[in-house]
């Protein structure tokens, strides 16, 4: 199922959501300018390498080890392909604005980065010795989705649902759409426990545990970051309003 939009108008301009999208697109354009060898070196430097992160835990404090832990943040702005990038940005575009509207821009940015870091740590825990670069905004965006489902469970999501040869556009309550998404990630994560599953690398698998973990983390942290600080917009559930 592919979400197209929500019917949940915001009350403020989501500058951080827009800025995150622009930053991710800009970095990906830079990735496209690199040769395959340079791109691999770029990922080795700025993506999470689980084995290197594990090594840093056992070798103590040092500048290289501190830089390795910084990849928990920098990796959130890297993507392994066009579909990986566009899929993440679509979800951020649909769900990020309303969560930012509730939290305020600065708290939303801190919430987003925190969810991304913790989601990366969850994924790392399931592949401590993997040498596959772990990268992508998926964990952070999953956190945004986890916050959204608790704040706006009844909001309708316009979704393309596979039905025979042609997809049908259906309006699905967020609690069902996002709840099903979370269950899928959790089930796929359980099924793939014996498979290396790093974030978004084409040919490297999907980070199901970062998705499921990020979603649960976002749901838990959301109230601490002011998720319920603003009242509902009076037109939030009207089907003819854009989100």
- What pLDDT is recorded for position 129? 87
- What pLDDT is recorded for position 195? 52
> Does residue 202 fall inside a structural domain?
yes
- What pLDDT is recorded for position 239? 44
Mean pLDDT across the chain, nearest whole number?
A: 88
- Residue 128 — pLDDT band, cuts 50, 70, 90? confident
Q: What is the mean pLDDT of residues 14-19?
A: 97
> Does residue 238 fall inside a structural domain?
no
> Does residue 243 fall inside a structural domain?
no
Q: What is the 3-state secondary structure (H, E, C) of the chain?
A: CEEEEECCCCCCCCHHHHHHHHHHHHHHHHHHCCCHHHHHHHHHHHCECHHHHHHHHHCCCCHHHHHHHHHHHHHHHCCCCHHHHHHHHHHHHHHHHHHHHHHCHHHHHHHHHHHHHHHHHHHHHCCCCCCCCECCCHHHHHHHHHHHHHHCCCCEEEEEECCCCCCEEEEEEHHHHHHHHHHHHHHHHHHCCCCCCCCCCCCCCCCHHHHHHHHHHHHHHHHHHCCCCCCCCCCCCCCCCCC
Q: Based on the structure, what is the number of domains in the chain?
A: 1
> Does residue 66 fall inside a structural domain?
yes
> Does residue 239 fall inside a structural domain?
no
pTM exceeds 0.85, yes or no: yes
CATH number at residue 93: 1.20.1540.10
**pLDDT tens for each residue of 183-241:** 988 887 777 665 544 443 334 567 888 899 999 999 999 999 999 877 766 544 444 44
Supply the range of the domain harboring residue 124: 2-225
High-pLDDT (> 70) share of the chain, %? 89
> Does residue 232 fall inside a structural domain?
no
Question: Does residue 119 surpass a pLDDT of 80?
Answer: yes
Q: What is the mean pLDDT of residues 98-114?
A: 97
**pLDDT tens for each residue of 157-172:** 999 988 877 888 999 9
- What pLDDT is recorded for position 148? 97
- What pLDDT is recorded for position 16? 98
- How far apart, in whole angstroms, are the C-alpha atoms of residue 78 and residue 202? 13
Question: Does residue 64 surpass a pLDDT of 90?
Answer: no
Question: Does residue 76 surpass a pLDDT of 70?
Answer: yes
**pLDDT tens for each residue of 32-55:** 999 999 999 999 999 999 999 999
Q: What is the mean pLDDT of residues 105-118?
A: 97
> Does residue 237 fall inside a structural domain?
no
**pLDDT tens for each residue of 129-182:** 888 898 999 999 999 999 999 999 999 999 998 887 788 899 999 999 999 998
- What pLDDT is recorded for position 241? 42
Q: What is the mean pLDDT of residues 107-119?
A: 97
- What pLDDT is recorded for position 196? 47
């Amino acid at each position: 199922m592919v979400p197209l939009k929500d019917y949940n108008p915001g009350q403020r301009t989501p500058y951080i959501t827009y800025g995150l999208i622009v930053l991710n697109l800009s970095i990906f354009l830079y990735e496209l300018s690199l040769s395959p060898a340079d791109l691999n070196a770029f990922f080795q430097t700025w993506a999470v390498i689980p084995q290197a992160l594990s090594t840093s835990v056992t070798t103590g404090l040092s500048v290289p080890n501190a830089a390795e832990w910084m990849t928990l943040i920098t990796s959130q702005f890297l993507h392994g392909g066009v579909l990986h990038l566009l899929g993440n940005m679509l979800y951020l575009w649909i769900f990020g604005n309303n969560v930012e509207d509730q939290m305020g821009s600065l708290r939303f940015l801190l919430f987003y980065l925190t969810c991304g870091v913790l989601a990366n740590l969850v994924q790392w825990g399931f592949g401590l010795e993997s040498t596959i670069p772990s990268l992508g905004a998926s964990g952070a965006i999953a956190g945004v989705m986890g916050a959204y489902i608790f704040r706006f469970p009844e909001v309708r999501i316009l979704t393309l649902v596979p039905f025979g040869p042609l997809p049908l556009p259906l309006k699905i309550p967020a609690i069902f759409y996002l709840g099903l998404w979370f269950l899928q990630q959790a089930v796929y994560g359980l099924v793939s426990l014996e498979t290396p599953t790093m974030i978004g690398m084409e040919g490297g698998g999907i980070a199901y545990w970062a998705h499921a973990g990020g979603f649960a983390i976002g749901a838990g942290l959301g109230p601490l970051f002011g998720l319920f600080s603003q009242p509902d917009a009076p037109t939030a559930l009207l089907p003819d309003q854009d989100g």
